[in-house]
Amino acid sequence: MTMLTILGAVLAGCGDPEASRTQTLAPPAAPSPSHTAAPSPSHAAEAPGTPAEPPTMAPGPAGLTPVFERRSEGSGDRADKAGSTDKVVALTFDADMTADQGPRAAAGEHFDNPGLITLLRRLKVPSTVFMTGRWAEEYPAQARSIGTDPLFEVANHSYSHYAFSSPCYGLPAVAKDHMRAEVERAFTAIRRTGARNVVPYFRFPGGCYDDASLKALAATGVTAVQWDVVSGDAFATDAGAVAEQVLAGVKPGSLVVMHCTRSAAPVTDEAVRRVVPELRARGYRFVKVSELMRG
C-alpha cells in the first residue's frame, strides 16, 4: 500500500530579510475575469473528502494535511510505475517574489533564473515550479515558457509570498480572510501568461502554516505540498554544500525544495548540475510532483 508520510521536516524558508514581521497584507485587488521547523497540523487524519479535480490531476487532501513525501511500503506496490526499487525523486523549485519587490526588480535585482530552467531542459529533468503570481507578472514570457513545456508543471506559491502564519522568516502576514484570494489571484496571474501546465498544488511561503491557514485553503481545492529534503540553497553561496545536503537527504519518493530566484538562491543551478548526474548514477528517476502523487 502506498502511504503519505507526514514528516516533522526542518524547513529552509526563503523569507525576505528586509521584510517586517508585523506587516499585514492588504486585501488584493479583485482579479479581472479571464529555516526552523514548521508547525505540524494536529489533525492529520481528519481531512474531508477531496473536491472534484480535473481527471488528469492527482487526488489529494484538498488543503488539509500537507503532503511531505510519498513512500511505498510492502513489496511491489509501485513496481509497475517506478520500477522494483521505487527510486523516484521530485525536484521542486520555488519562484519567489513578494508583492512589494517591483522597485527592486526595476533596479536590476533578478528574481528569475533562466539559466536554471535551461539547465533542467538540457539535463531533461521533469520538475515542478511553485510560482508566485507576482513572479509570473514580472516575468510573463518565462512563466509562459515554463508553463507550456511538458517537462515542467506550474503549481501555486501564493500571489505575494507573504506568510500564511507568523512568525515566518520575517515575511509580512496575510490576513486570514484574504488567504483564499491570495491563492486564486496567483492562479489568475499565472494563467494570464498563457501557462497551461498548471496543477492544483500549493506551497506555503516559507513552509509556514497552521490549522487556520489549512482550513482557509480547503475552499480553493488545492493540495498543500511541503517537502522532506531541504536543499539549503536559499541565500547559500557554496554550491557544493547545497549539493551534498540534497544527496545526503534523498530517499526513494523524496520531495526536494529548491529555488528559482537568482537574487535569493544564486548557486542553485550549479548545485543541480552536481545533483542530477549523481542521483541518476544511484538509480534514481526524476518525476514531477503530480507523478509522485499518482504513485
Domains of the chain: 93-295 (3.20.20.370)
pLDDT-above-90 percentage for the chain: 69
Q: Give the residue among 206, 275, 216 at the shortest CA–CA distance from 240.
A: 275
Distance from C-alpha of 271 to C-alpha of 4, rounded to nearest angstrom: 28
Q: Give the residue among 244, 268, 227, 234 at the shortest CA–CA distance from 114.
A: 268
Task: Decide if pLDDT at 65 tops 70.
Answer: no
Task: Decide if pLDDT at 272 tops 70.
Answer: yes
Chain centre distance of CA 280: 22
Q: Kindly state the cell numbers that stand for 285.
A: 528517476
Which residues have a Cβ under 8 Å from the Cβ of 292 and sit 6 or more positions away? 69, 70, 88, 90, 253, 255
Mean pLDDT estimate for the chain: 79
Q: Treating both helix axes as pointing N-terminal to C-terminal, what angle do 114-123 and 140-147 enclose, rounded to 10 degrees?
A: 20
For 108-151, the pLDDT digits (tens) are 999 999 999 999 999 999 999 999 999 999 999 999 999 999 99
Element (H, E) at 159: none
pLDDT at position 67: 79
For 201-250, the pLDDT digits (tens) are 999 999 999 999 999 999 999 999 999 999 999 999 999 999 999 999 99
Whether the full predicted model's pTM is greater than 0.85, yes or no, is no
For 28-62, the pLDDT digits (tens) are 333 332 233 333 322 222 222 332 332 222 333 44
Q: pLDDT higher for 123 or 6?
A: 123
